[in-house]
Amino acid sequence: MKSRNRVTHNALLAGVAAGTFLSLPAMATAQGVGSESKATGVGKAQASSSQPDTAAEEIIVTAQLRTERLQEVPISAVVVGAKELTLRNITNLNTLTEAMPSIHVGNTASANDLYMRGVGSGNNVSFDQAVGTFIDGIYYGRARISSATFFDLEQIEVLKGPQSTFFGNNTIAGAFNVRTRDPSSTFSGAGRFLYGTHGNRVAEVAVSAPISDTLSVRLAGHYDGSDGWLHNITAPNVETGRKTPASDNYGGRATIVYTPVPNLKIKLKLDYSNNKSNGLAIQTTGCPPPAPFTAAGNCLALLNAGLGNTVGLDKNDINVNEGQAIALKTNSQSLHVDYTLGDLTITSISARLNYDYFSALDVDRTPTYLSNGLAYENYTQYSQELRVASPQNVPVEYLFGIYYQNDSLYSNQQINFPQLSPGILAKPSLAPLAGLLPIARSISFDQKQDSIAAFGSLSWHITDQLTLSGGLRYTRSHKATDSVQQFGQATSPYSGFAPYSGVLNPQNNGAIVSTGLQGTASAVGIGPAGTESSAGTYDAFLPSAKIQYKISPASMAYFSYSKGFLAGGFNGLENTGFTANAAFKPEKVDAFELGIKNRLFGGKVTFNIAAFINNFSDFQVTQTIQQLGGVRSLITNAASLKSKGVEVDAAWNVTRAFRLSGNLTYLHSRYGTYTGVALDSLGSFCHTASNIGNPACVSAYGGNGDPGSLRDLSGQVTPFAPTWSGSATASYGLDLGEVKVTPAITAIFSSSFYPSGSTLNDPLQLQTSYLRLDAQITVAQSSNGRWGVDLIGKNLTDRNITTAALLASGSAGTISKAKEEPRNFAAQFRLNF
């Protein structure tokens, strides 16, 4: 067997983030908020003397908890480096995935959506997310954290498919692996300042300072905000003077690295962020609704106010959701220790994470307070990971470890129902409530969880060409929940809840009963008052296996299998009072992937292709069902789901100045067997006695036009799963003496898809195919890159791209949608020192 030369850690960390389908390779050499490459020693990868000067940089990842070249890792991944994050002004996961149509992150009322390859968890507060987020090796497990501000990053790795062995059970669809910047060994810093359309603004500064030969510190601060781009109105041509989603977000981080001896590195990180917004970018569409629907409920209220035809994505940038607010505060503390014992590396990561989330949302989306909601979440997590890793580039490599996590989640969601007051006053049986209106409902959910895991991996380099790898993870989590639903008086439009008198009784033969005014309020039809307690334990063994074959020094083929697992749980928004409706089962997947990675023509061309098949069973799905005065959130398990497709990404350094890159995804994500699904808009309309025989219903469903009470989605497409999607980027660098000018343009395209993880496959919510164009022009100092000026344009085609959709309460045929920001421009100045 030929000997394998050892590659040092520093040599592997020779470069990041260039040549991916999102990268602008001509711009991707510098790091940090202002291209602070000299401060870190992590700059361009050194090409061998045989490579042309047009060779693309090597990309380094930690997808297998080691520093490795992306082209040698048997995983389909997208890597976005620090320079690209800066040039595209990417400050959170939402803006990151705008350029990745087959990957989606978006904000919704109940919880945020995270999807990869058509697979994700619905918007329910109680879900563990199928797409995991990790920052510096720490699991950020709840959906809300995706809204937190990112700043001073090294890079983001988007890892597709189950990542169970290295990242845990809650990565059944994929993972975001985020790395922040460490202090450098010399005094240095960087900053960037941006201002643009809609008052978009950013100010960010980071400074590294060595305190001594063994101690160094990095301080980073960030602010970004917007004046908003939807005009708030209360009547035709009457503006409030405020816009939405106006925001002010800021954060700070201190990172301290102490190396008392050469084989010991201790890193302490303190992180804080505060995000504030006056609401979501939500507009009402289809008011008046298309035939056969007729205006009702909230749409009728809009029409009566003269606002029906003024709203909607295709009309103008107007909404009527005055008074909304969203706030998210996060803080984390972590201690990361690396100790080298002989040839072994021992790593310990201890962390605490906490966030507080608050939102006040206009559920009815009219100028009148008809139905308004408040949501609050508090989450605290403690985790400890300990692992041991062998040296790299030896015949047999291994890594094993243990993980423990304890977390607690408390959520409270309130909905006020002023629109029910007339009906309550008209019923003598509800007379005790007459002086206590408007009625409000509160659902509190308290969950405690303990999780443990043991994991390991082994790689055997049989020859210089052939490598076999295997992994195994055992995971176990225990959840205990308490849920309380009660009724009271709404004391203000968005908050303020005074509970009615009454006793919340425990379960009685599976049902929840109540007495006093709580029981009287239950008779309104928006669920019974009561308490409910549940507990469950979920565990699994998760094996994985990979085979890699180096076809040539520049080409590698691989085949992988992995088993994924997502723990079951209990619906934190369940409001029927029946225990059987609260529990949902674990979700499982068997995933197969075949790929080939190529670095051709002396490194000038990178070409990667991967084909995958992921077979899910007991897939966890959220359904949002219309009910009196609001909606009901139901969690069920679809019997099966299959996600399969092909992903291609390529980059070509045509000349030293001219670079091309792009990607293409074909995705076929379909439910296998999934019955008992809530009706869509047309089905709900037709399944009423008054519409039996309606010609539109007869045409859609046959017979008398009644579709029945439930749908069958077997064989139907899953949410956020366009069949075709991708992007293409071209850039050209012009050397003009002391400065270099680099224009670049990116085309982002997608076929149609359903943009909702809860109101499933409603044709009225469909996002049609689109082409979005982004562009940048960068002017930078040629000699040492101390400064740069960027002109950034996004959504130049001004397309309406839906990011979330849901049914409008009581208004069949009317849909509420959120969309990406319309055409916008910004100017940015970057400085290194």
Residue 400 has pLDDT above 90, yes or no: yes
Beta strands in 286-343 (DSSP E): 318-319, 325-341
Q: pLDDT tens-digit profile of 213-222?
A: 999 999 999 9
Report the distance separating Cα 83 and Cα 67, nearest Å: 20
Q: Which of 34-48, 160-174, 248-262 has the lowest mean pLDDT?
A: 34-48
The angle at the Cα of 754, spanning 636 to 131, to the nearest 5 degrees, equals 60
> Which tokens go with 785?
């890159």
692, burial (CB in 10 Å: exposed 0-12, middle 13-18, buried 19+): middle
Q: In what order do the strands lie in the sheet with 282-285?
A: 282-285, 815-819, 802-807
Neighbours of 829 (CB within 10 A): 14
Q: pLDDT tens-digit profile of 76-117?
A: 999 999 989 998 898 888 888 888 888 988 777 666 788 999
Residue 198 has pLDDT above 90, yes or no: yes
| pLDDT band with cut points at 50, 70 and 90 for residue 122 | confident
Residue 192 has pLDDT above 50, yes or no: yes
| pLDDT band with cut points at 50, 70 and 90 for residue 29 | very low
User: How many residues appear in the chain?
Assistant: 833
Residue with the larger pLDDT of the pair 268 and 782:
268
Residue 68 has pLDDT above 50, yes or no: yes
- Mean pLDDT on 689-697: 89
Residues 6 or more apart from 296 whose CB is under 8 A from it?
A: 810, 811, 812
- Mean pLDDT on 642-671: 95
What is the Cα 677 distance to its own chain's centre?
Answer: 25
Q: Which of 33-37, 74-78, 535-539, 591-595 has the lowest mean pLDDT?
A: 33-37
469, burial (CB in 10 Å: exposed 0-12, middle 13-18, buried 19+): buried
Residues 6 or more apart from 704 whose CB is under 8 A from it?
A: 692, 693, 698
Q: pLDDT tens-digit profile of 407-421?
A: 999 999 898 888 889
pLDDT at 315: 55
pLDDT at 25: 33
Residue 629 has pLDDT above 70, yes or no: no
Q: Which of 306-310, 380-384, 488-492 has the lowest mean pLDDT?
A: 306-310
Residue 523 has pLDDT above 70, yes or no: yes
Q: In this structure, what DSSP letter does residue 753 have? A: B
- Whether the ω angle into residue 438 lies within 30 degrees of 0, i.e. cis, is yes
The pTM assigned to this predicted structure is 0.89
Q: pLDDT tens-digit profile of 724-740?
A: 999 999 999 999 988 99
Amino acid at 85: L
Residue 11 has pLDDT above 70, yes or no: no
pLDDT at 468: 98
Task: Reduce the secondary structure of 449-476 to three states and give it as a string.
Answer: EEEEEEEEEEEEECCCCEEEEEEEEEEE
Q: Above pLDDT 70, what percent of the chain? A: 89
Q: Which of 253-262, 469-478, 762-771 has the lowest mean pLDDT?
A: 762-771
Report the distance separating Cα 220 and Cα 209, nearest Å: 12
Structural domains in the chain, CATH included, are 22-674+713-832 (2.40.170.20)
pLDDT at 525: 79
> Which tokens go with 812?
């069949």
- How do beta strands 318-319 and 230-235 pair? parallel
pLDDT at 402: 97
Task: Find out whether 236 and 310 touch, Cβ atoms under 8 Å.
Answer: yes
pLDDT at 511: 60
